[in-house]
Amino acid sequence: MSTTVTIETTPYSDQKPGTSGLRKKVTVFRQPRYLENFVQAIFNVASELKGQLLIVGGDGRYYNQQAIQVILKIAAANGVKQVMVGQNGLLSTPAVSHLIRKNKAAGGIILSASHNPGGVDGDFGIKFNISNGGPAPTSFTDAVFELSKSISQYQIIETADIPLSEQQQVFIADMQINIIDPVSDYAALMAELFDFQKIKSMFTGDNFTMCFDAMHAVTGPYAKEIFENQLSANSGAVINGVPLEDFAGGHPDPNLAHAIELASLLNSGLNAPDFGAASDGDGDRNMILGQHFFVNPSDSLAIMTANAHLLPGYKSGISGVARSLPTSRAVDKVAESMGIRCYETPTGWKYFGNLLDDKRITLCGEESFGSGSDHIREKDGIWAVLFWLNLIAIKQQSVEQIAREHWKQYGRHYYTRHDYEAIDSEAAENLIQHLREQSATLAGKEYAGHKITLCDDFSYRDPVDNSIAEKQGIRILFDDESRIVYRLSGTGTEGATLRVYIENYVTDTTQHTLETQSALADLVEISKNIAQIKTHCNREQADVIT
């Protein structure tokens, strides 16, 4: 027997979603009625969910399954007709996007804090994806936040929890719940986009080996099914493949600072795998490695754009490409050469959605280890890995050879990101405000031979709906096509993170073998001096360099 009840509640003042939903410490989400308030606010704003299908799943981090039970009971009380939820509560973010689109769902709720640490003392997150499969726009998240500040009650059905460990069909009141295989639909989509037979022949006939680090996050089951079972990759191709609530104490962020085991394997000498890759907590990010070779995500997007026509899913060509503001301008050079449009957007995957829906672009990507295409409306880690595997199989070249050939044709954008983490929020805001105030006076000034041609606070007008996003990051452009960008991150849960993005464009192929930080050393110092990072933040060096 199940009963719908109305629970009186008091609002919280801190439920403002960032670029990827609401992210807080687990301890915050476990406060009385904190999760319930926010979920009810979502249903109040997303009235289109009533009588329709909702997709629910997450990355398996601590509190994932408990939160799903709350969401299911509130969904049933708010008139949702049907819910699809991944077995054991697992669904990668790309898989949720695909399921929304394939099943014409009204939306999806994703439980993840992406690349942030998990566990009882770690982070948790929740976000809503709309019917196109992409993250909700700012207008939606703003409405949810406004409602959350005054919410006084929520509706929920009082009933026993639903077992999520088996694929089955169950009900809460009149709401049908289908607990599904989280992998199969997504794997089938990948087989449509890429030449699985050609990739498989590389593993079975060419002695080609790979290593994929799932980082004890959600992509473990996806990787094992696709790489090991369907593509016959070498034994042990997937490491850290069992999803764990605390990611085995690790930080599920696919970069050189956190995927240390993978990086060590690829740099281990003669017996190193030919190809390495990693994904993050919810499966939407990726890192690509060759033997003793790292592909920065900005270059990866540029290389994908230049070669997409070689792959089955993109053989008819691409309509255009988009990158976030901080992402290097490597892809701009490719787009210019190909005669296609290249859009510069604010950080946040939601800004790509309108461009994809309007068929203005086919590929898109961010420097923060994310890339994707029009097959879904999220970035997609496994997709990117398959793209590279398919490209290697076609070109019969190593990761390094493909990258260096690309640089030879288009030039190399040396690129780095310096993160100053958990700094005082007021100090970080003061630094950005200082940059805004001096932006008009910087043009024409010269620093260590680099002359500034433009300094502004980036704003974006969406070419589809004409919506405007302002104050998206301070960008400084130099006359030699080098660039520095400053912005505050919206994905952390403690203090503020100042991200500084630095790039330098080099066409001389004899200068393409420099170590990245050495190649950018002068611009790194310039970035510190212009922003007065030590003065404002009391930091000599960045905490994380990628």
Catalytic residues: 114
Distance CA 50, CA 16 (A): 24
CB count, 10 Å around CB of 9? 16
Give me the half-sphere count of Cα atoms (radius 13 Å) on the Cβ side of residue 325.
Answer: 27
Please state, in angstroms and rounded to a whole number, the distance separating the CA atoms of residues 458 and 469: 9
What is the distance between the alpha carbons of residues 18 and 179, in angstroms, rounded to a whole number?
29
Contact assessment for residue 485 and residue 472, using Cβ atoms and an 8 Å cutoff: no
CA 187 vs. chain centroid, Å, equals 19
In total, the chain counts a number of residues equal to: 546
Please say whether the beta carbons of 168 and 22 come within 8 A: no
Q: Which two tokens stand for residue 335?
A: 């787009």
- DSSP lists the bridge partners of residue 418 as 500, 545
CB 201 within 8 A of CB 211: no
CA 432/CA 420 separation, integer angstroms: 13
The DSSP-derived string for 462-504 is -TTT--EE----EEEEETTS-EEEEEE-SS-SSSEEEEEEEEE
